[in-house]
Amino acid sequence: MNWFKRLLNFRKKPTFVLIHGFGIRTINEYDFLVNIYNQRKYHIYCPKLFDPLDEGDDNWKDWLQRAEDCIAMATSKSDNIYLVGYSMGGVIATYLSTKYQVKKLILLAPAFEYINLSNATTLLTSFVKNDPPVKKTEMPTNFFPEFMNLVNELRDSAKEVSVPTLIFQGSDDKTISPKVAKKYYKLLPIEEKRLLTIEGATHRLIDDTCSKNIIVNLIDAFMENKL
């Protein structure tokens, strides 16, 4: 029966599914969190949604499918999944939380809204430019409409969320207005939800020195039902 106990322990072990945002760093956005939770021997899945070096990889439905394939694999192996989404990934994670069995949902500066096409293009171009460690300095311009199509199609899933949800937002976020997090927090039809605004933090919450360690501590508290 030792194999059965090992299987049960494997399925109960904390598992993170990390959905990255719109930018040339893709999965490298999560390096800080991955390093910390790898040291704790957590299971971690972090799908790469698109290839910013491939201009032909410009279909948001393909991006979503890659995220779905990843969480489907994770849920087949674990009963203890924490779904994390950053920026555009927050919109995707919200949608996935309504389709797959996850324990809790964690959103980092979710990009549920942009003001208009001109604003979105300006902000996103500024956001992804000169973004290490990828040498290419700009996202393909044909990716921008796909970002907006994805947001338009998936953001209403916030009204269907049924799992405990924690939202982090930086007070100095110049990419996505903090008002967006407040608006969609109110739309979540659940009682167990928290919106935490970190003073002085920017859109880059898990890179920002004033917020990244705070976020880890609060994620831990959220996982342990202490928040």
pLDDT < 70 regions, the chain: 1-11, 115-137
User: What are 224's two structure tokens?
Assistant: 């342990």
What local confidence, expressed as pLDDT, does residue 43 receive?
95
- pLDDT score recorded for residue 126: 52
Nearest CA-CA partner of 90 in 24, 17, 144, 25: 17
Range of the domain at 96: 2-223
d(CA 177, CA 201): 12
The predicted pLDDT at position 21 comes to: 95
Q: How many domains does the chain have?
A: 1
To the nearest 10°, report the CA torsion of 55, 60, 61, 64.
110
List, as one string, the DSSP characters of 57-117: ---HHHHHHHHHHHHHHHHHH-S-EEEEEETHHHHHHHHHHTTS--SEEEEES-----S-H
What is the structure's pLDDT at 64?
Answer: 98
Structural contact between residues 24 and 48, judged by C-beta atoms closer than 8 angstroms: no
Q: Give the per-residue pLDDT at 114.
A: 76
CATH of the domain at 206: 3.40.50.1820
Bridge partners (DSSP) of residue 45 are: 17
Which residues, including other chains, have CB under 8 Å from residue 196's CB and lie 6 or more apart? 166, 167, 168, 169, 218
